[in-house]
Amino acid sequence: MPSTLALLVGSIVVMTDEKRAGASRSDQEPERTPGGRERWAALADRWRTARLARQIRDFAKRHGGNAEGQLAYLGQVGARIVLVGENGQWGDLTAPSYQLGRQALERAGIQVRESFDGELAAKVRTGRYEWSRMAGMQIGGPRGG
């Protein structure tokens, strides 16, 4: 006479075999489509590019209607987009990659400079906050930072 454990284990094996025999592959596990992960990654990149382009256009609109930008490679972190508005205000964004940063700048219609040269730097207007951060405690700027 078989033990209770043997009967239990044996019935599980029989049930599993029956399920496999009567079920198709799609019933057992979801089928993975080739290239699915790549398609999601491409879609996510388009969303990131669109969001960056919108932020760049908003910056330009808030600071005189137009802006110039410079894109700098940061390594694995991505790329830094430095923007200078017509009124001299500046800001920066980080793109997940150099390619996405370039695409966002092009999509936003911003003139891209190859380097942050003297001509672009001359357009930047620094305020009291920036000067105090650069000089620190020497001229009464924020302490400890």
- d(CA 81, CA 95) in angstroms, rounded, equals 7
pTM above 0.85, yes or no: no
Report the candidate in 142, 62, 46 with the shortest Cα–Cα distance to residue 103: 46
| Contacts of 56 by beta carbon, 8 Å cutoff, 6+ apart | 67, 69, 81, 83, 93, 104, 105, 108, 110
Give 47-99 pLDDT, tens digit per residue. Answer: 999 999 999 999 999 988 889 999 999 998 899 999 999 888 888 899 999 99
pLDDT level of residue 26 (50, 70, 90 thresholds): very low
Q: Is the pLDDT of residue 133 over 50?
A: yes
More confident residue, 32 or 125: 125
In contact, 69 and 113? CB cutoff 8 Å? yes
Beta strands 111-113 and 67-75: pairing type? parallel
The mean predicted confidence, pLDDT, of the chain is 77
